[in-house]
């Protein structure tokens, strides 16, 4: 993508990122407002407590417009967790998701993590396909009712 910048997440990105998750997942997945509350709590915790030495978030921008996000946070000493991965509808299908995933995974490797994990829903088929194409393995799948609807939670993992 021309004029693309993937920069570090800043506190000024907070409200935009929460809104992107709320709007996207309400429209695309039928999630209720509890999803936005969860996203806000994850972001606020990151802003208050993240360890800059081993955790980071990124925002993809083009000509000053935000297009997406991805975060790498510590799960334990050996494992990083991928979080808050979202792309705006206009940014999808152009290779940006792969680039953002590679940015996050490259950071995790460079920081000495031995692998990564993530939590998502089966309904995010495009994301699941992206993870599988990049070496991730689906390690758990279970039916749940979350964010106001039945769904299937998935845990994906990769070792480096």
Integer Cα distance of 136 and 48 in angstroms: 30
pLDDT more than 90, % of the chain: 86
Token readout for 80 is 């990083």
DSSP string, 104-132: HHHHHHHTT-SEEEEEEETT-HHHHHHHH
Read off the pLDDT band of 1 (50, 70, 90). Answer: low
What is the rounded average pLDDT of the residues 41-52? 96
Alpha-carbon separation of residue 79 from 5, 76, 93, 111 (angstroms) = 27, 5, 29, 10
* Matching CATH number, 4-114, of 3.90.1010.20, 1.10.10.10, 3.40.50.720, 3.40.630.30: 3.40.630.30
Q: Strand, coil or helix: what is 37?
A: helix
């Amino acid at each position: 993508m021309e004029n693309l910048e993937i920069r570090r997440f800043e506190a000024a990105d907070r409200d935009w990122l929460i809104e992107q998750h709320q709007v996207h997942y309400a429209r695309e997945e039928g999630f209720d407002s509890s999803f936005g509350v969860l996203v806000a709590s994850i972001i606020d915790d990151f802003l208050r407590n993240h360890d800059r030495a081993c955790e980071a978030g990124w925002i993809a921008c083009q000509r000053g417009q935000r297009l997406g996000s991805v975060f790498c946070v510590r799960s334990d000493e050996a494992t990083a967790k991928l979080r808050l991965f979202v792309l705006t509808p206009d940014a999808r299908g152009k290779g940006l998701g792969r680039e953002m995933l590679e940015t996050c995974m490259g950071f995790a490797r460079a920081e000495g993590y031995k692998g990564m994990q993530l939590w998502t829903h089966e309904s995010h088929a495009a994301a699941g396909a992206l993870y599988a194409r990049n070496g991730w393995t689906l390690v758990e799948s279970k039916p749940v009712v979350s964010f106001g609807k039945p769904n299937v939670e998935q845990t994906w993992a990769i070792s480096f």
